[in-house]
Amino acid sequence: MKFGIVIFPSKELQDLANSYRKRYDPHYALIPPHLTLKEGFETEEKPEKLTEILEAIAKEFQPIHLKFLKVSSFQPITNTIYLKVEKTDELLRLHEELYSEIPGGPPEHPFVPHVTIGQKLSNDEHSDVFGALGMLGVEHEEIVDRIHLVYQLENGSWSTYETIRLGKD
């Protein structure tokens, strides 16, 4: 089964991201706007066991402050446009802990906290869209107090298996 670990931001931020995703992200219908903490991974491990591990990790973290900084891009690697999130020590530590404790191997890419708003764009589309959105002032901060274990369905969409609160109960 294929799993991932994500943070779903507030409805306000999701609405902002979706206003662009519905036009520029072919994955719009597959998963709500999210910040990926651990990329999709295959494992034979039972979801209950993954939840157990996640609960133990989550107890070591307080709710996390997310500060959205600006619209950015992964070009020239990919034509992906995203809302950049400040990489705090706490966010980095959570990311690293998830990779060290949960099955699935090392990260494929360096950790760049973000919420995707456009991807799989042609070079011209990327240039036009990024040119327009790059001027967008994104000033948004929020506290998130939960992480989500998601799994991929046969149709490619993702569903939440478990929501885990950060911090001690």
Cβ atoms of 115 and 27 closer than 8 Å: no
CATH number at residue 112: 3.90.1140.10
Identified catalytic residue from 95, 114, 126, 148 = 114
Structural domain count of the chain: 1
pLDDT in tens, 62-99: 999 999 999 999 999 999 999 999 999 999 999 999 99
In angstroms, rounded to a whole number, what is the distance separating the alpha carbons of residues 36 and 115? 8
For 86, the domain range is 2-165
Where does the pLDDT of residue 138 fall: very low under 50, low under 70, confident under 90, or very high at 90 and above?
confident
Q: Residue 19: how many CB atoms within 10 A of its CB?
A: 10
**What integer pLDDT is reported at residue 121 of this predicted model?**
96
User: Which 8-state DSSP code applies to residue 77?
Assistant: T
State pTM to two decimals. 0.94
pLDDT at residue 169 in the model: 63
Query: Does 34 qualify as catalytic in the annotation?
Result: yes
Q: One of 34, 95, 126, 148 is an active-site residue; which one?
A: 34
Confidence class of residue 124 from pLDDT cuts 50, 70 and 90? Answer: very high
Per-residue model confidence (pLDDT) at position 21: 97
